[in-house]
Structure 1
Amino acid sequence: MTMKEEKIYRQEAVVPDRGLPFKLFRFEGADGKYICEAHQHSCVEIFALREGKVDFYLGDKKYVLPAGKFIIVNSNEVHSIHTSGRNEAIVLQIPMEKQIMRFSGEKKEEDGKLFALLEKMYRQQIRKEYGYELLMQSIFYQLKYLLVTAYRIPEEKKDYYPGNTHSGHLERITGYLREHYAEEISLETLAATFGYCPTYLSKMFRQYGRINYKDYLRSIRFEHALRELEETDLTIGEIALKNGFPNSQAFSRLFREKYGILPTEYQRRQKENDSAAFLMIQIQAESSLLGRL
């Protein structure tokens, strides 16, 4: 496939949970029918289905995933999800700053143990008892040890990697943005940091990440800002400045454009334990965004 014929996919920003080296969340097709369009990200993902059935695509290969099974997605591996009935899954995303190793999702005798560790992590996340972060990390490193010892693809099979040189360069740049998201980072500054001209870097984001540079940076900032709204009593202005937005007015305007709701309203709903209602708003907003990409 020539460079002109190469398919491009949306690059998704993944921000770990606060104080933890991973991101863990529940995936649910709320109305029974949901499509997560093809995308990629620089992390290893384990998608474990608790209920229902989904069609999971790795590249062009389709896997029918039943309840009680999981699939492993490697860094920068293109994947998508199609659901047609009620389903619920646990998703664990492990950021990978460097391509050190890759993993196979082929059936193994350790599958039951890995699924059980994911369930255990999920239960602890829901309870959030005092010191739960320590327990979560303890379970996570058990899971990571199992992943490395039982599912790692040997070095001699490195040709398995489906990425490309441009994806590798973009991964280094997005890693930098995830680390410095709260700073004032212009396209020109970022380009100079990595030795590119701004025009070429902007084109790289659009062509190989299928996302605008500003939109990618904002998606990281929004991930952190949402967490501040949920977990702290900081003012909207403080949250805006802490997460790289110029002021509260700009933050509120961009927040409403993305989620269809003001951050003050979201903060109020969180206090009223109305997060489920907002989840639907977020899914609809993301679906709308995907339709424009």
Structure 2
Amino acid sequence: MDKRQHELVLPNKDLPFKLFLFEGGDGNYIRERHWHRSVEIFAVTEGEIRFFRGGERTILKAGELLLINSNEVHSVMAPTPNTTIVLQIPLGTFEGYFTEERYIRFAPTKGADDEALMTVLKKLYRTYQAGEEGYLLKVLSDYYRLLYILVTEYREKAVDKEEVNRNKKLNRLAKITDYLRDHYQQELSLEKVAQIFGYSPTYLSHMFRESIDISYKMYLQEIRLEYALGDLEKGELTLSEIADKHGFASGKSFAKVFKRRYGILPSEYRKK
């Protein structure tokens, strides 16, 4: 099933960006199709990970990095262990460099040096992890060096009107999907959410179908499943309690949606 989710990216508490090791480092990991408004860089130092975006598959090996643009729908798979540094840069960081409509896109251009970008990112991460006196100043120094490289060597200046329009639609939709994630435990009918955002139910339904190729109802169920799965794995709540906590109409409804998504019942999943 082709599901796409908007991911809300929050910076580290002491930094204006988010820096961490990829959560799929142990392998046997799949992150379904999603998007976020931040610009994201994956830098593999050990092993490999695989990306799917725009119908293309990319295998990223040790020593290689990949840029994910704002609102670029992608999925990630890591079948084997790896060590990957991830940097997520808030879109607002590039204020003043937008081409138009808060749109900016990065891609390797002639003369762009991935190795230089990789070196700065690894250095930035090592400094942050060491946490020695004055480390934040050094981290920010490397961070701004990285931003300079992106803006001067990777920023695309030619504007694709179709891409800009798609970006605008995903920006609008992201506000709605953020709301769904914040209130997913509540009753959230299509009509209610459409009214909150000033759309007709028909138009809101069309937004989901056209922009991310999934129905409103299915998208909301995927959010609820994502959170319910965490409680299912903890094993502290009954299936009925999990269903009630995460907005499902009943335990039976939860089981039906879960089996359609994962191929087995929640009770079977918990036993495994």
Tell me by how many angstroms 1:65 deviates.
3.5
Counterpart check, 1:72 vs 2:67: yes
Task: Indicate the SS of the match to 1:109.
Answer: helix
With over 3 angstroms needed to count, the CA separation of the structure-2 counterparts of 1:72 and 1:204, relative to structure 1, is: same
**Which amino acid is the alignment partner of residue 180 of structure 1?**
H
Residue in 2 that maps onto 1:168: 171
CA distance in 1 between counterparts of 2:237 and 2:89 reads 28
| The one of 215, 231, 236 aligned to 2:234 | 231
Residue in 1 that maps onto 2:36: 42
TM-score scaled by length of structure 1: 0.60
Segments of 4+ moved more than 6 angstroms: 19-23, 27-30, 60-64, 80-83, 116-121, 142-145, 155-161
Counting matched residue pairs gives 235
With over 3 angstroms needed to count, the CA separation of the structure-2 counterparts of 1:257 and 1:63, relative to structure 1, is: closer
CA distance in 1 between counterparts of 2:140 and 2:238 reads 37
* 1:94-173 correspondence to structure 2 within 5 Å: 94=88, 101=94, 104=106, 107=114, 109=116, 111-112=118-119, 114-115=121-122, 147=143, 150-151=146-147, 153-154=150-151, 162-164=163-165, 165-173=168-176
**Which amino acid is the alignment partner of residue 166 of structure 1?**
K
CA distance in 1 between counterparts of 2:141 and 2:249 reads 42
What percent identity do the matched residue pairs reach?
Answer: 32
Tell me by how many angstroms 1:199 deviates.
0.5
| The one of 36, 48, 51 aligned to 2:47 | 51
Tell me by how many angstroms 1:60 deviates.
8.0
With over 3 angstroms needed to count, the CA separation of the structure-2 counterparts of 1:251 and 1:57, relative to structure 1, is: closer
Tell me by how many angstroms 1:189 deviates.
0.6
Tell me by how many angstroms 1:157 deviates.
7.0
Residue in 2 that maps onto 1:3: none
Tell me by how many angstroms 1:79 deviates.
4.4
Tell me by how many angstroms 1:264 deviates.
2.4
Residue in 1 that maps onto 2:197: 194
CA distance in 1 between counterparts of 2:151 and 2:89 reads 20
With over 3 angstroms needed to count, the CA separation of the structure-2 counterparts of 1:47 and 1:205, relative to structure 1, is: same
Task: Indicate the SS of the match to 1:68.
Answer: coil
TM-score scaled by length of structure 2: 0.64
Unpaired stretches in structure 2, ≥5 consecutive residues: 95-103, 109-113
Unpaired stretches in structure 1, ≥5 consecutive residues: 1-8, 125-134, 270-293
Root mean square deviation of aligned Cα: 4.6
Residue in 2 that maps onto 1:217: 220
